Structure 1
Amino acid sequence: MRLAVFGGCGAWPAAGQACSGYLIEHDGFRLLVDPGYAVLPRLLRVVDAAAVDAVVVSHGHPDHCADLNPLLRARALRDEPPAPLPVFAPAGAVDAVLALDSMRAMSRAVEPVVLTDGGRVGIGPFDVTSALLPHHVPDLGVRISAGTATLTYSGDAGPDAALVELARDADLLLVEATYPDAVPDEDAGLLCSAVEAAEQAAAAGVARTLLTHLWPGLDPAAFVAAAERTGATNVGVAAPGPAQPIGS
Structure 2
Amino acid sequence: MHVVVLGGRGAWPSADQACAGFLVEHRGFRLLIDPGYATLQPLLARLPASAVDAVYVSHGHPDHCADLQPLLRARVLSDRSVPALPVYAPTGSLGPLLALDEPGLLDAAYHLHGFTPGDAFDVGPFAVRTWSLPHWVPTAGARFSVAGTTVAYTGDTGPSPLLVEVARDADLLIAEATYVDEIPEGHVGFLSSAAEVGRYASAARSRAVLLTHLWPGTDPVAAVAAAQQAYRGRVGVARPGLVVDLTD
Please state which band the TM-score falls in when normalised by the shorter chain: over 0.9
Q: TM-score, normalising length from structure 2?
A: 0.97
Could you report, residue by residue, the CA deviation over 1:147-175 in whole angstroms, capped at 9, with x for unpaired residues? 01100000000121112112211101000
2:135 corresponding residue in structure 1: 135
Within 5 A, what are the aligned runs for 1:42-53?
42-53=42-53
**In 1, Cα distance between the equivalents of 2:95 and 2:55?**
14
1:20 corresponding residue in structure 2: 20
- Which one-letter code corresponds to 1:81 in the other structure? S
Q: 1:115, CA displacement in angstroms?
A: 2.1
Q: Structure 1 residues 90 and 231, CA, compared in 2 at 3 Å: closer, same or farther?
A: closer
Which is worse superposed, 190-199 or 94-103? 94-103
2:202 corresponding residue in structure 1: 202
Could you report, residue by residue, the CA deviation over 1:142-200 in whole angstroms, capped at 9, with x for unpaired residues? 10001011000000001211121122111010000000011112111111100001111
**In 2, Cα distance between the equivalents of 1:242 and 1:175?**
15
Name the SS for the 1:175 alignment partner.
strand
- Which one-letter code corresponds to 1:156 in the other structure? D
Give me the identity figure in percent: 53
- Which one-letter code corresponds to 2:82 in the other structure? P
- Which one-letter code corresponds to 2:4 in the other structure? A
Q: 1:234, CA displacement in angstroms?
A: 0.9
Q: Structure 1 residues 77 and 190, CA, compared in 2 at 3 Å: closer, same or farther?
A: same
Q: Runs ≥4 in structure 1, deviation > 3 angstroms? A: none
**In 2, Cα distance between the equivalents of 1:161 and 1:217?**
29
Could you report, residue by residue, the CA deviation over 1:185-216 in whole angstroms, capped at 9, with x for unpaired residues? 21111111000011111111100001000000
Within 5 A, what are the aligned runs for 1:215-230?
215-230=215-230
- Which one-letter code corresponds to 1:210 in the other structure? L
* 8 Å contact kept, 2:9–2:215: yes
Which is worse superposed, 45-54 or 77-86? 77-86
Please state if 1:77 is matched with 2:77. yes
* 8 Å contact kept, 1:151–1:246: no
Q: TM-score, normalising length from structure 1?
A: 0.97
2:61 corresponding residue in structure 1: 61
Q: Which runs of 5+ in 2 are unaligned?
A: none
2:170 corresponding residue in structure 1: 170
Q: Which runs of 5+ in 1 are unaligned?
A: none
RMSD over aligned CA atoms reads 1.2
Q: 1:96, CA displacement in angstroms?
A: 1.1
1:123 corresponding residue in structure 2: 123
Which is worse superposed, 53-62 or 160-169? 160-169
- Which one-letter code corresponds to 1:62 in the other structure? P
Name the SS for the 2:157 alignment partner.
coil
- Which one-letter code corresponds to 2:105 in the other structure? A
* 8 Å contact kept, 1:73–1:106: yes
Which is worse superposed, 97-106 or 198-207? 97-106
Name the SS for the 2:83 alignment partner.
coil
